[in-house]
Structures are given as C-alpha cells and as structure tokens.
Chain A
Amino acid sequence: MRIGTFLRPALTLLLLALVLRPVWFTPLFAPFASAGGPVIYERASLLSLSISHLGLVAAASAAATLVAVTLAILVTRPAGAAFLPLSRTITNMGQTFPPVAVLALAVPALGFGAGPTLVALFLYGLLPIFENAIVALSTLPPATMEAARGIGLNRWQQLVRVELPLALPVTLTGIRLSVVIALGTATLGSTVAARTLGEVIIAGLLTNNTAFVLQGGLIVGLFAVLIYDALVQLETRLVRRTGG
C-alpha cells in the first residue's frame, strides 16, 4: 500500500515520458544502440503505436469477455449444464494453440494486419475469463440464491441483480489475467504487420539494436504492470463492497 502510493505515480510518469518524450532517454539508451545507429525509435510515433497496441488488446479482451461470460452463463443454467464439458474443451484448445501458429493460420484467411492478431488475442483471452466466470457463477452463496428466488425474482432478475454482481470480482480476476497475457502477446502481431509496440522490438532485433528492444519492452512492461495494478484495485474495491 505505502510503496504503491509512491510507486504508482512514479511509474505512470515514467511511462508517459517514455511514450511522449522518448528523446529525453537518449543518454540512457545510447550505450545499448548499435554502433552509429539510431538510439530512439523514430520510424513511427510511440504514442500512435501505444494507442494501436492498447486498442487491439482492448477490442480482443472485450470480445473475449463477452463471449466467455455469455458461455459461462449458459453452461451454468440447468438447461445448459450438458454443454459444460464441450465448451471447456473448446476454450482449452484456444489456449493450447501456440500464438505464432494462430497468426500463421489466420493470415491466409484474414490477410496481413490487425485481423489475425485480434483473432489470436481473442482466443487466448477466452480461457481465463471463462474458467473464472464458471467458478464464480457456480459457487454463489446458496442462502442468497434461495432468497433471490424466495422473494420472487424471475430468472433474468436473479441473473442480473444477484448472480452477475456477486460473480463480478472473481470474473474480473480472469479478465485481468487475460488482459495482461494479451498485452504481451500483442507484440507478436507486428510479425504479421499489425501496428503494435512489437514493431519497435522487432526493428531492434532485425538491426541488432538493443536500445530499441529495451525501449519497446519497457513500455509494454510498464503498461502491463500499471493496468494489472488498476484492475487489482478495482477488484479489491468490489470485494469490499460485496462484503467478501
């Protein structure tokens, strides 16, 4: 807590500076640059790459959340229980496929660019959210559910007013894991010409320029840490409200 109160703003400022004013860091990265090569990545603005990167992650995670939570709701209804094993198998498959293979397979179908990356991130995001949502929805306090039925809520009201709010904190944990995985995995998207921060890292690898690799890696890492932290705080607040 104490450390967080100082560290959080410090890291946020560092990230903003890295993205908006990369030249400030020239002295820092200079020792890692290839001899005579550029120190700071300037082929594209880091800000626009960051926005594109985060946009891909947000879109894929939102879609994964929607699909995974919908599936979890369906298979935790009495009528959908039979589909539980099948839907688990499908989401697990999404996870066992290596991301590079997904990208390679998706390119012929969707062409180069954001499409294949979105598909890969989406598939990778499903499993943690689905598993957590299922656990959350199937371990609700029985007395509370009994009361929800007992006072006369219909099925839909039970879901919207009681089940989903109570399942939210645990589901959010799944979303958090999924988002953090997606933030890292998205860098691979640049191998198939999606605009992500991976572009900086790949450029560094191709030209043997460690400065670029560090720069790209640092920005992605800081985004991951700060977003993770924000989601943890949100969960804590929710748990406190639901009387944990």
Chain B
Amino acid sequence: MIEIDKITRLYNGVPAVDAVTMTIETGTVTVIVGTSGSGKTTLLRMINRLEEPSSGEVRINGESTLTIKPHILRRRIGYAIQGHGLFPHHTVARNIGAVPELLNWSADKISARVDELLTLFSMEPETFRNRYPGELSGGQQQRVGVARALASRPDLLLMDEPFGALDPVIRTRAQDDLRRIQKQLGSTIILVTHDMEEAIRLADRVAVMDSGQLVQHGTPAEIITRPATEFVADMVGRVERPLRLLSLVPVSELVEEGVAEGEALPVEASLRDALSACLWTGRAAVPVEQDGVLVGRVTFEAIRARARARAHP
C-alpha cells in the first residue's frame, strides 16, 4: 500500500503539487490524468524522491520513503521516464539490463530477461539486442524505456506517459501487454497520461489532477458517471461519456439466448465494440462466441438499456 500524505511541492512559492493525499492499494493500476502542467510528473517524481516534497510524505507499506537512501529506494521502484531517457552510449541490452546489473544479477539471467522483454514488446532480440538507442525509431526507444523499467520485476512501477510516442495499433497492444504483465506479477503501477481513453482502459483507479490539486480519485465508472467538477466532466468529454462507460462492460454481462446474423464477437469484447458492430452493419443483435463456439447474442436494445441504467444508477 502506498500512502501519499498531504504532499506539496512549491516552485518559487507557487505549488506545482498542492497537498495531494491519496492511498494506492497494492496490486492495482492507478492512472493520473490531467492537462499539461497540472503537476502529474512532479507528483510521480516525489514518489521515488527524484523531487523532494516541500511538505508531506510518502509511505510505502507503512515505511516513510524519507528513511531510505534515495538511490536504494529507486532501485526498488521501476521508473519509465517521460521521453524514454535511454543511455545513448549503451546498447539496447545494456539499457534494459541496467537495474538488474545494479542488483548484481548474473550475466546469464540478465540476458535471458532482456530477450524475454524484447520479445514481449514485439522487438526481435536478435535484431535489436546490440543496437544503440540512436539506431531505433521513437516508438522502439519508448518500448525499450518501458522494458528497462520492468526489467527487475519491481513491485512498484512509475510510468510517465510511457506510450505517448506509439502509434495507435502498437499502443493498444502495449497497453494490453502491460495489463497482462501487471495481473501476472501483481505489481502496483502508477501511470501518468493525458489521454482519458488510456486511463479508462488501464486503470483500476483514476486520479484527476487540475492545477496541482487532486480533484477526483475513483474507479473509471465513478469518474465517468459522477465527475466531481466541471473540469473532470470536460476531461471525460460529454460526447464520449456513454461510449467510455460501455467500454468498461464486457459483452459477457449482457449475453442472452438466441441467434443473430453476421460476424460474431468474442465474450471479452466490450459493449462499445458490440454497439459499434450493430451500428456499422445495421444489425439489431450480434452473435457472441466463446473460444470459437457460439454462446448467444447481445442486442442493441439491451446495450441501450444498460447504458441508461449505468449513467443514471
């Protein structure tokens, strides 16, 4: 459990982060969203003490971070920096293996881990292992930056806009990979983004920052349906609101008996995918399949009813 306790950071008397208090459960993904300059990076950097708070403190499992030497603290916390920050004079493999090296892993174990991570991020180890960061595309550099943060399997991961430079296809895949790894390892992730879509897709809890203050901290559904301020409502977007809500619900929740025409959707798909399929093909219902076997259908009418019920509970 990470407790952020009335943490404040002043720059020339002006608060960049203003008395933020927030508790983060172990094994969850918390996404911090906010406009540019709202203090997201500053908040994140105070957790691993790259920035010292002007007042307040952070406790990890009850232990104040102020009692630990900063560089020792940071070796325990994975950190993917905004804009990758790779070491230009080290190969991809050495960049990814930087923290394991500091923790004295054996060379074999490090190189196995490097290859595993490269593969995970769809980068052929043979091809990329010995390249220098200058020989990678922006998106590849960013993935190596994220791989470096994951390398030692830290319990806590801080990620500052880790997918900003990725194209939509790879970004979606990287998000899914991150979520899968997180579930597998049970790690705690605090991720910064200004993309609400990304926040809702990844988060167990969303924290919305506005001018240094934490204006709302809740589940994605709460943020969408009960925005605490106008600012939060604007961040969610009034037009996208119902669709974002539907994207949180899997088709499996509305599956009913019956048949429908056309291409089937997997049960893991969201209601938004189902709605989109209905609209695009003009169907009133879409068949649903599980592991390739038809299990029923989801109707347009049911989606509409659910959207209304969720929006006005």
Partners in one complex: yes
Asked if B88 lies at the interface with its beta carbon under 8 angstroms from chain A, I say: yes
Q: Is the contact region of chain A dominated by helix, strand, or loop, or is it mixed?
A: helix
B132 cross-chain contacts in A, Cβ below 8 A: 241-243
A145 cross-chain contacts in B, Cβ below 8 A: 85
CB pair B72–A152 under 8 Å, yes or no, is yes
B residues 57-88 touching A (CB-CB < 8 Å):
71-76, 79, 81-88
- Also in contact, A150 and B81, with CB within 8 A (given A241-B132, A243-B132, A243-B133): yes
B102 cross-chain contacts in A, Cβ below 8 A: 151-153, 157
A243 cross-chain contacts in B, Cβ below 8 A: 88-89, 132-135
- Also in contact, A153 and B71, with CB within 8 A (given A166-B89, A243-B132, A244-B134): yes
Asked if B251 lies at the interface with its beta carbon under 8 angstroms from chain A, I say: no
CB pair A149–B50 under 8 Å, yes or no, is yes
Contact of A151 among B99, B133, B134 (CB under 8 A): B99
Asked if A180 lies at the interface with its beta carbon under 8 angstroms from chain B, I say: no
A146 cross-chain contacts in B, Cβ below 8 A: 50, 81, 85
CB pair B74–A242 under 8 Å, yes or no, is no
CA distance A161 to B89 in the complex (A): 10
- Also in contact, A152 and B133, with CB within 8 A (given A143-B83, A162-B87): no
B28 cross-chain contacts in A, Cβ below 8 A: none
- Also in contact, A148 and B87, with CB within 8 A (given A153-B71, A154-B71): yes
A153 cross-chain contacts in B, Cβ below 8 A: 71, 102
Asked if A85 lies at the interface with its beta carbon under 8 angstroms from chain B, I say: no
CA distance A242 to B75 in the complex (A): 25
CB pair A150–B135 under 8 Å, yes or no, is no
Contact of A144 among B75, B76, B86 (CB under 8 A): B86
B134 cross-chain contacts in A, Cβ below 8 A: 242-244
- Also in contact, A242 and B71, with CB within 8 A (given A150-B79, A151-B102): no
Asked if A4 lies at the interface with its beta carbon under 8 angstroms from chain B, I say: no
CA distance A148 to B75 in the complex (A): 11
